[in-house]
Amino acid sequence: MKIMIFDQGHPVTEQLLTKAIEVFGTPESGTCEIVLARCIGKAHETAADQLQKTVAEERPDVLLMGATALGEEIAPAMGIRLGTGVAAHCVDMELRYDGEVVFLIPAFGGRVIGEIMIPDVQPGRPAIATVKPDIFSADAALVSEINENNRLRVIDLEPAGEHRGFQLTGRQPRPRAAVDIGKAELILCGGAGLGSPETWQRLENLAKALGGAAGCTRPVVDAGWGPDESSMIGTSGRSVRPKVYIGFGISGAAHHLCGIKDADVIISINKDKKADIFNASDHKGVFNAEDVLSALEEEIGL
Amino acid sequence: MVILVLVKPVPDPEKYNEIQIDPQTKRILRQDAAAVLDPASKCALEEALRIKSEVEAASGDARCEVIALSMAPQTNRDKILECLAMGADAGYLLSDPAFGGADTYATSYVLAEGAKAILAAEELDAFDLIIAGNESADGATSHVPVQVAEWLGLPHLARVCELQIQREGAEGQEGAGGTPVIAATKKTEEMLLTFRCEEPALVAVTRDINKPRHISAMGIVKARKKPLTIWTNDDLKLDEAKIGAAGSPTKAGELMTPDLSRGGRDLTEEDGSAADAAKAILALLRKEGLGA
């Protein structure tokens, strides 16, 4: 079985490689070959054309890529061009005894997890799956050992010829949060129950004072209180795995709970004692979120 | 100018916590959650309506027609009416049991064929622009917009957070009469990338691109007089092997609802105060070696 990973120079590649080795076997196991199709820092506009050509030459059975801004543009396009199915945003995958690959994908914001199979796979018409960053963990030691010993074949995608369609005219870095919520050990997360942009600002300040990062839910982004989607936690935002997550004024919609399920400890504050987040928490407090924020500010002298 | 907007009815996202799976059949047990117009679809339509008003304001005789297209059961006719009430000029609903059970591959095929049929019916050469929501609330694959563009052979750009139609003159200068060019900003993990593309093309917009307008009473009155066409496969005449479940390369297996319960112990005693809760939180942080 041949597995191709589309490498776009994003940490998700190492996460995919670690998972692929776990599911399909090591490159030397005889049952599986893993190749990287690398497209870094060049001609992303033609990446789909380049990858299509490489798939035709290499004829993989499975094609994996990160569900990044680039991956989400390329994976569905490959599905149509190659006439095959694409499993979106896998949270797990397994190889069954009969050789069929089963992908687990979330729906309804993660409330439902469903199995997806792509039965009519042939070499060159691979099963395609995307995986969001930080869904799988990378085994750094394994990845560096594999790289040092050149155990993987890496194919550099050739820039394709003239490109019609969307032409890149400019690029600017997005402003970055002081602490990336994807790496934070402590996350204070605010929901609609914060009530105002001022309270959101206080939550951000408190998170900073406690050495953590501030995250939010969809209603906070939609209300325009300040944070954008890069701070949004949930299936359509970021998946996080902090040591401690504290939710303030969050009801616990399925898509948010799915994004915090890997936290070691979940603490939640909501004035509604029936809030869905409480059952998904280790510790809960039925309080007005702002009251607990004020008490925390006082305790640490903010 | 003609803009096609792809819209999708979805079960109300506020109700997803209530979804249950039948332990025997492994299918969704009851899904009586009312359908709503997907939030991202509304943003796509809002963007089209904004462009329409800009184009029509720029020149007295310029017209921009906005057409809404969806594939959904006929019970969702009112969602197309909602699009018309927001300001779309015409609506098309592709509705046939044969389209059901489709994955994104077969869905995008039907939508692309529907788009071609609209061009024929409206006697148009091409749509200048197709706009869709980047990611729906229910399936959230983000595949369908890109796949519709691929079927139609159009350039596509997903995760668009800013969109403008610019007019470029012969020397690349902006002006009222020049060639219309799509200028779009795409948000990636770390960058804001700006692109340009000559029409026609498809863009998939994210929910932060705008705040969709509310429907006015006048909008509802006007909507009833606007054309709303429902087509079945008798109209589209698509090969049944290429549509619905039969035309879908992916097959769905068992469904499950992940158990996320953790017990939820109280932070404080029954009559504890917010200050007690704060102390308990800081104690838990210290235990994990965190906090100030």
CA atoms of A133 and A8, how far apart (whole Å): 12
Quick one: which of B111, B131, B108 has its CA closest to B201?
B131
- By DSSP bridging, strand A265-269 and strand B251-256 are unpaired
- Look at B158 and A167 and tell me if their CB atoms are within 8 Å: no
Tokens of residue A226, six digits: 């300040």
Q: How confident is the model at residue B179 (pLDDT cuts 50, 70, 90)?
A: confident
Query: What total number of domains does chain A contain?
Result: 2
CA atoms of B140 and A218, how far apart (whole Å): 14
Comparison of pLDDT for B260 and B22, the residue scoring more: B260
Does residue A206 sit in the same domain as residue A120? no
- Look at B267 and A267 and tell me if their CB atoms are within 8 Å: yes
Chain B 123-142, residues with CB within 8 Å of chain A CB atoms? 135, 137-142
Does residue A120 sit in the same domain as residue A212? no
A266 occurs within a structural domain: yes
Of A76, A266, A300, the CB nearest to B292: A300
CA atoms of A288 and A285, how far apart (whole Å): 9
Does residue A194 sit in the same domain as residue A56? no
Does residue A195 sit in the same domain as residue A292? yes
Q: In terms of residue numbers, what domain contains A287?
A: 186-300
pLDDT tens per residue, range B29-82: 766 668 999 999 999 999 999 999 999 998 778 899 999 999 999 999 999 999
Tokens of residue A238, six digits: 């970021």
Does residue A10 sit in the same domain as residue A144? yes
CB B185 within 8 A of CB B162: yes
Among 1.10.10.10, 3.30.450.20, 1.10.390.10, 3.40.50.620, name the CATH number for the domain at B2-242: 3.40.50.620
**Cβ-based contacts of B281 with chain A (< 8 Å):** 246, 267, 283, 292, 296
pLDDT tens per residue, range A62-90: 999 999 999 999 999 999 999 999 999 99
Interhelix angle for A71-82 vs B144-152, to 10°?
50
Does residue B173 have a pLDDT over 70?
A: no
Does residue A138 sit in the same domain as residue A242? no
Q: How confident is the model at residue A244 (pLDDT cuts 50, 70, 90)?
A: very high
Comparison of pLDDT for B137 and A43, the residue scoring more: B137
Q: What pLDDT, on the 0 to 100 scale, is given for residue A42?
A: 58
- Nearest CA-CA distance, residue B213 and chain A, Å: 14
Q: How confident is the model at residue A98 (pLDDT cuts 50, 70, 90)?
A: confident
Q: How far is CA B1 from CA A220, B56, B205, B229, in A?
A: 36, 10, 19, 20
Please report the beta strands in chain A, taking only residues with DSSP state E, as ranges in sequence order.
2-7, 33-38, 62-66, 86-87, 92-95, 101-107, 112-117, 127-131, 153-156, 167-173, 186-190, 213-216, 244-248, 265-269, 283-285
Does residue A222 sit in the same domain as residue A123? no
Tokens of residue A119, six digits: 């039965």
A241 occurs within a structural domain: yes
Interface test with A, best of B143, B161, B196, B209 (most A CBs within 10 A): B143
- Look at A68 and B189 and tell me if their CB atoms are within 8 Å: yes
CA atoms of A151 and B106, how far apart (whole Å): 39
